[in-house]
Structure 1
Amino acid sequence: MNGQEGRVVIVTGAGRGIGEAIARRLASDEWTVIAVDRDAEGIERLAESARGGRVYAAQADVTDRAGVEALVVDVVARYGRVDAVVNNAMWVRYAPLLEVDEQMIDGMIAIGLKAAFWTTQTLVPHFRRQGGGAIVNLSSPAATRGFVGSSVYSAVKGAVASLTLQAARELGPDGIRVNAIVPGAVPTPGAREVVDDEGYEVRRSMTALQRLGTPDDIAGAVAFLVSPDARFVTGHLLHVDGGL
């Protein structure tokens, strides 16, 4: 037993890409993983194929506050506890600043930022009763670097970074740790919808390690932040970017 068996984690946006890799890694580390996504097919496939049968699919819209509350109530009723949440869900669209429209702003803020508020608000009372918990958010280098066409994405990920630091300070006295991963360029299916091969070559050339990241690279860092090894780590933005 590695100290994590019996612990329960909710991973949002787990239907593919980085979220799927995080769910698989935590399941292999003996967590019970609640894989959340609007894409029922993706998370059901994940649950069927995951090692040890430790992944359970939960279709939900994380932009819906009431839906998030219902999800957490159901998880606690079924498994008796929740120990961590990974706020990975994101909807990414790129456009020149002057072409950004209301639908793009509202959609990206709802999935990338509001959802992190709803999971945090809903889970904190449970964490307090248990004596602590861990929250891991996903930010981005775009929060502090300029990338053409990424104004909304950059703004959302900057807000996520700020929320992480503020929440760590506010929730720390309750034993609740809040950290964020800042991933480098990881060519997932979703990311490839907005970044082409040429764009990824530029990103690869900017990294000290001269390679792109993989979903497993990010999953390993998340596994550390939710583990007992990170029990004295909070309010930290962990860059997993190959030296970008």
Structure 2
Amino acid sequence: MFEGKKIIVTGVSSGIGQETAKQLKAQGATVIGVDRNPPSVDLDAFHQVDLMDEAALDALIEELKAVKADGLANIAGVPPTAPVETVVTVNLVALKRLTLGLVDSLADGASIVNLASLAGIGWEGEVAKIKAAEGLDHAGVPAFCAAQEITADTSYFYTKQALVAWTHENRWTWRDRGIRMNAVSPGPVDTPILKDFLETLGERAEEDMKIMDRPGTPTDIAPVVVFLLSDGSVWLRGVNIATDGGMRAHIDATSNGLN
């Protein structure tokens, strides 16, 4: 399915990113990985970069422009237990900088996939705060977080809400070149950082876990990312796919009195 196609995958050294790379390779893709840690899976190329380092990120963008990739999977991210400024920088600012820096060099018909989260639910109520982040760079993050009152309790939710909104906003931005952007929103996933989410989300997470039959796994999420990178998804534009064992449907149904 991916023979002759080159796909850039960030967060490639663990969890969903690693599984996505494995599945892409199995389907014939040339996979270029990006992570701050070395990978443990076979890749065609790898760039070790800390997304907190703006200069290193800009150098990475210049290197990756030569790839002329057919897809970009923005999977790198940090959990809500990370410092507030790190969460906002890695999960939102660096992701957008990388994407916008590469989009002109992507192949026509390329697919961009953002890994959002069930935590992105309710973005509609945060539009003003989301718009305030337009054009935000690494250096501006501390002042931005202070001005917008983004705290350890809200940082992760905010970044994922902003990412869902950004995906919707760019539904047709590059339509003249056939470039599409979509998102995947997992619920709780059994990865090395699951405990960080449970620690931060507390009672809410405990209740969610009681409702769910089990947490997700990278093998539940990666096929959806791979599908959105494939030619089979060319008519999906600005879509956010809830890949969460039914949690989004449960929230919508119960909040609207269906059960």
TM range (shorter): 0.7 to 0.9
Q: Which residue of 2 aligns with 1:235?
A: 238
Q: Which residue of 2 aligns with 1:60?
A: 49
- For 1:226 and 1:194, how far apart are their aligned partners in 2? 27
Judge conservation of contact 2:65–2:102 (CA < 8 Å) in 1: no
Superposition pairs of residues 143-182 of structure 1, within 5 angstroms: 143-144=120-121, 150-182=153-185
Kindly, what percent of the aligned residue pairs are identical? 32
Q: Which residue of 2 aligns with 1:85?
A: 72
Q: 2:33 aligns with which of 26, 32, 35?
A: 35
- The answer to whether 1:141 aligns with 2:150 is no
Q: Which residue of 2 aligns with 1:19?
A: 17
Q: Which residue of 2 aligns with 1:71?
A: 60
One-letter amino acid matched to 2:7: V
Q: 2:98 aligns with which of 100, 114, 119?
A: 119
- For 1:9 and 1:74, how far apart are their aligned partners in 2? 14
Judge conservation of contact 2:172–2:180 (CA < 8 Å) in 1: no
SS at match of 1:89: coil
Q: Shift of residue 112 of structure 1?
A: 0.1
One-letter amino acid matched to 1:92: P
Judge conservation of contact 1:9–1:33 (CA < 8 Å) in 2: yes
- The answer to whether 1:46 aligns with 2:41 is yes
Quickly say closer, same or farther: Cα 1:192–1:203, change in 2 above 3 A: same
Question: TM-score if structure 2 supplies the norm length?
Answer: 0.76
Q: Which residue of 1 aligns with 2:136?
A: none
- For 1:212 and 1:203, how far apart are their aligned partners in 2? 10
Structure 1 unaligned regions, length at least 5: 48-53, 95-102
Q: Shift of residue 27 of structure 1?
A: 1.1
CA displacement, residues 74-133 of structure 1 (integer Å, 9 cap, x when unaligned): 3454xx521111111111134xxxxxxxx8221101100012211211211112xx3231
CA RMSD of aligned residues (A): 2.4
CA displacement, residues 126-151 of structure 1 (integer Å, 9 cap, x when unaligned): 12xx3231110011111226xxx741
Quickly say closer, same or farther: Cα 1:172–1:65, change in 2 above 3 A: farther
One-letter amino acid matched to 1:188: T
Structure 2 unaligned regions, length at least 5: 123-151, 248-259
- For 1:64 and 1:174, how far apart are their aligned partners in 2? 31
- For 1:69 and 1:29, how far apart are their aligned partners in 2? 30
Q: Shift of residue 187 of structure 1?
A: 1.6
